[in-house]
Amino acid sequence: MIRKSIALLALAVSATACGGGSGETPKAAEKVTLTYSLWDPNQLPAYQECATAFTAASGVQVKINQQGWEDYWNGLTTALVSGTAPDVITNHVAYYPELAANNQLLDIQPYVDRDKVDLKQYTGDLASLWVKDGKRYGLPQDWDTIALVYNVKSVKDAKVDPAGLKDLTWNPTDGGTFGELIKKLTVDSNGKRGDEAGFDKSKVATYGWGLEQGGGVVGQTQWSWMALSTGFQYLDKNPFGTDYKLDDPRLAQTLTWWQDQMKAGYVMPRQEAGRLGLEPMMQTGKAALVPDGSWRIGTWAGSTEQKFAFAPLPKGPQGRKSIINGLAPSITAATKHPDQAWQWVKFLGSPACQDLVAKRAVVFPAISAAATAAAESHKAKGVDVSAFTDIAADPASLSYYPITGSANEINTEAQAVIDQIQELKVAPADALRQLDTRIADILK
Amino acid sequence: MTLTVGRAGPARATGQHGTRRRRPSSDARVAWLFLLPSLAGFAVFYLAPTLRGFWISLTDWNLLSEPRFVGLDNYRDMLADGKFWNALRITAEYVVINIGSQTVLALAIAVLMDRLTRSVLVRAAIVVPWLVPNVTVAIVTLFMLDHNVGFVNHVLELLGLEAQAFYGDSDQAIATIALVNTWRNMGYTALLFFAGMQMIPRNLYEAAAVDGAGEWTMFRRVTLPLLRPVTVLVLVVSVIGSFQIFDTVAVTTKGGPADATRVIYYYIYQKAFNEFHMGYAAAMAATLFAILIALTATQMRMLRASTSDLR
């Protein structure tokens, strides 16, 4: 199916390319079809709606191609090499530096200047994430933050007041009230809770804290918020730092505390977490709480098996900290229709499109007003997403996704170490120090 | 199978009557004509890419910009790369578990088929797992072996055993992958052995039975020695195939946990298409090519592949 649609896409691209080649002078009647690609199937309907609106307004057709995350990035490289890449791609901050460094992306700064795009309409500092060496490679289209997801029944059964979850604290020494909470939420097969005498950590029925595998060097949902709340910073500067600070003792301390909770039986062990992600463990009640990103609000809010709700991240020694990250459309350098591609990018970054996205509320649109509208749509459905939106409104709580070159290589290297920490095979302090050296080699 | 052709073929027939005559040159021309299509295919789809691969291994190339010649730098880096050696070690581990279990089980199945039933239905049923695409097998087992929702662990718990992580535990992951592929391939391998067994004259078994040999002795003294050429073929093909383990890893573990399943093909793939070090990936591929050639040559030699005891 996917392969077939790629072939069709390639055909479409070459067909339009031929059409463009014959008439060098732009004719008003020339029919242009842009190709646009994205990876999240949940977002496809929203952007399809944008595309329809865009075609109605400009006469330019947009053909959207959706592929899963991994196929998307592998396919993109080969498509760029073979000259069949889409005109506009959905881009991620972990990937765009490498594409830009290889001259595969169009600098849109001249267009932004010409059309006087208001970069202040976007949430926080999202727009500047896409600037590298004075060139701009995307306009923010959405953002995401992290919050806690909990099983309402588990919290009730533990006799914890849900209102109290709004003011959790955490520190890497005793874990604060968050540490207390996950002990209480952990129940063994005899019904004993983690903070009661006789708790058997080898027979846990429900873990207080679920575990998602992966995360690489960032640990965006897994541990970033703990480490950042101690004052830890990933890089010497962001974006485009050249030195990862993984030998920071505060990071080692954070991950050691995390590992201690695993040893004590309050966190789902890595071996049990499985490769199917957070959903099975939360839906089957094997875990009571997990930190997760706003891009999965729909999954949790729409669950029919369990009732889930959201709570803000705990306050650490340096306050509450969440990574904020966002996607942006980039124009590929080889596009035959740069002007029309820019019209589409501008439309994606405008209220006209983002208000449509907000109505469907699959993601938080980058424009602050549209994000508020998305939160309202959630509220109308009875879902309180303030845990995600409040933190996004507070610049002091936000930390931007670490952006460097060679992100894939660094993530592979770091993931192996995080796996070993989760399998309790290494002490975080030593392992992180060695990892720091290896990553420094990659970035050299 | 090649054996049958060799024994009954015309080349052998002329050879039996003393001196070999040189073929007229017109024959050779016709022969080349017949070979041409496959030679052309070989040159375009195998030889040229292989040579190009060797050339890429001498360059620094990230797919998107122009390749830069760096001589043997990639090979030097490779020898100093702990992950490369780790990948080779894990691949070897995989091959030993996979080929070991697969060959033994396939032989057992083939003997059972040969001695007990000639039913076409059984023969067909035995290759069914092999007809399921690798990726499908990987996805299905990923769910069946999951710790939380997997059927296999459910059964283990019913039997009073502890649930296992399988793919999720760095100590079990590579063995899990190897055994899953053993399950998929053993039926097909068994069929190859079974075909080989059909060439062993039945009267040998009758003679052995008259001499008082049991099933086990017959298997050891008759079946195994006479099956050797087929065994070599099966081993060479399946070892090469086993070294190329990729899809199951790509679907289930992606090289993790903690690098425990980063087999050489997956590492090559990651370097080439995730990290864009095409030159380095090509250098590893070239090395693997050399290793496989050496390994095959050794196997052929040690098992005297070209001679049969059936004379």
Residue A273's pLDDT is what? 84
Closest CA to A414 of A238, A214, A268: A214
Alpha-carbon span A100 to A304, nearest angstrom: 43
The amino acid sitting at A106 is: L
Q: Which two tokens stand for residue B140?
A: 């299905």
Same topology between domain A2-144+325-380 and domain A146-324+406-443: yes
CATH class, domain A146-324+406-443, is alpha beta
Alpha-carbon span A175 to A254, nearest angstrom: 10
Bin A182: left if φ > 0, else alpha if -120 < ψ < 50, else beta. Answer: alpha
Grade residue B62 by pLDDT with cuts at 50, 70 and 90: confident
Query: Tokens 């947009």 appear where?
Result: A62
ipTM: 0.76
Instruction: Give how far B244 is from chain A: nearest CA, Å.
Output: 20
Alpha-carbon span B255 to A145, nearest angstrom: 29
Which one of A74, A78, A423 has the shortest CB-CB distance to B257?
Answer: A423
3-state secondary structure of B60: strand
Residue B21's pLDDT is what? 57
Residue B199 has pLDDT above 50, yes or no: yes
Q: How far is CA A440 from CA A65, A232, A401, A414, A434, in A?
A: 37, 18, 18, 12, 10
Q: A273 vs B53, which has greater pLDDT? A: B53
* Alpha-carbon torsion (A165, A169, A172, A173), positive or negative: negative
CB B279 within 8 A of CB B103: no
pLDDT in tens, chain A (444 residues): 344 444 444 444 343 344 333 334 444 456 899 999 999 888 999 999 999 999 999 999 999 999 988 889 888 988 888 889 999 999 999 889 988 988 899 999 999 999 999 999 998 889 999 999 999 999 999 999 999 999 999 999 999 999 989 999 999 999 999 999 999 999 999 999 999 999 999 889 999 999 998 889 999 999 999 999 999 999 998 888 889 999 999 999 999 999 999 999 999 998 888 777 888 899 989 999 999 999 899 889 989 889 999 999 999 999 999 999 999 999 999 999 999 999 999 999 999 999 999 998 888 999 988 999 999 999 998 999 999 999 998 889 999 999 998 888 899 999 999 999 999 999 999 999 999 999 999 988
Summarize pLDDT for B253-269 with one digit per residue, the tens. Answer: 888 788 899 999 999 99
Q: Which two tokens stand for residue B307?
A: 């001679």
Residue A398's pLDDT is what? 92
Residue B257's pLDDT is what? 87
CATH number for the segment(s) A2-144+325-380: 3.40.190.10
Q: Which residues of chain A neighbour B273 with C-beta distances below 8 Å? A: 74, 77-78
Alpha-carbon span B83 to B73, nearest angstrom: 17
Contact A81 B273 (CB under 8 A): no
Contact B149 A213 (CB under 8 A): no
Residue B20's pLDDT is what? 54
Grade residue B5 by pLDDT with cuts at 50, 70 and 90: very low
Q: B123 vs A171, which has greater pLDDT? A: A171
Contact partners, residue A152, CB within 8 Å, separation at least 6: A162, A306, A307, A308, A309
Residue B307's pLDDT is what? 66
Residue B23's pLDDT is what? 59
Q: Which two tokens stand for residue A413?
A: 């290297």
Alpha-carbon span B152 to B172, nearest angstrom: 15
In this prediction, residues B61-84 reach a mean pLDDT of 89
Grade residue B165 by pLDDT with cuts at 50, 70 and 90: confident
Residue A361's pLDDT is what? 84
Contact A305/B at CB under 8 A = no
Alpha-carbon span A132 to A91, nearest angstrom: 14
B51, B52, B57, B60: CA torsion to nearest 10? 160
Q: Which residues of chain A neighbour B146 with C-beta distances below 8 Å? A: 274-276, 280
Q: What is the DSSP string of B151-168?
A: HHHHHHHHTTPPP--GGG
3-class SS string, chain A: CHHHHHHHHHHHHHHHHHHHHHCCCCCCCCCCEEEEEECCCCCHHHHHHHHHHHHHHHCCEEEEEECCHHHHHHHHHHHHHHCCCCCEEEECCCCHHHHHHCCCECCCHHHHHHHCCCHHHECCCHHHHHEECCEECCCCCEEECEEEEEEHHHHHHCCCCHHHHHHCECCCCCCHHHHHHHHHHCEECCCCECCCCCCCCCCEEEECECCCCCCCCCCCCCCHHHHHCCCCCCECCCCCCCCECCCCHHHHHHHHHHHHHHHCCCECCHHHHCCCCHHHHHHCCCECEEEEEHHHHHHHHCCCCCCEEEECCCEECCECCEEEECCEEEEECCCCCHHHHHHHHHHHCCHHHHHHHHHHCCCEECEHHHHHHHHHHHHHCCCCCHHHHHHHCCHHHEEECCCCCCHHHHHHHHHHHHHHHHCCCCCHHHHHHHHHHHHHHHHC
Going from the N-terminus, what domains does chain B have, and what CATH number goes with each? 70-302 (1.10.3720.10)
Tell me which of A204, A275, A409 to substitute to probe the interface with B (most B C-beta atoms closer than 10 Å): A275
Closest CA to A182 of A153, A152, A150, A214: A150
Where are chain A's structural domains?
A: 2-144+325-380, 146-324+406-443
Contact A74 B274 (CB under 8 A): yes
Query: Tokens 């845990």 appear where?
Result: A387
Please name the residue ranges forming H helices in B147-227. 151-158, 173-197, 202-210, 215-218, 224-226
Instruction: Give how far A417 is from chain B: nearest CA, Å.
Output: 6
Q: Which two tokens stand for residue A19?
A: 């059409």
Contact A245/B at CB under 8 A = no
Which one of A213, A280, A422 has the shortest CB-CB distance to B149?
Answer: A280
Which one of A77, A275, A419 has the shortest CB-CB distance to B273?
Answer: A77
State the pairing for strand pair A187-188/A364-365: unpaired
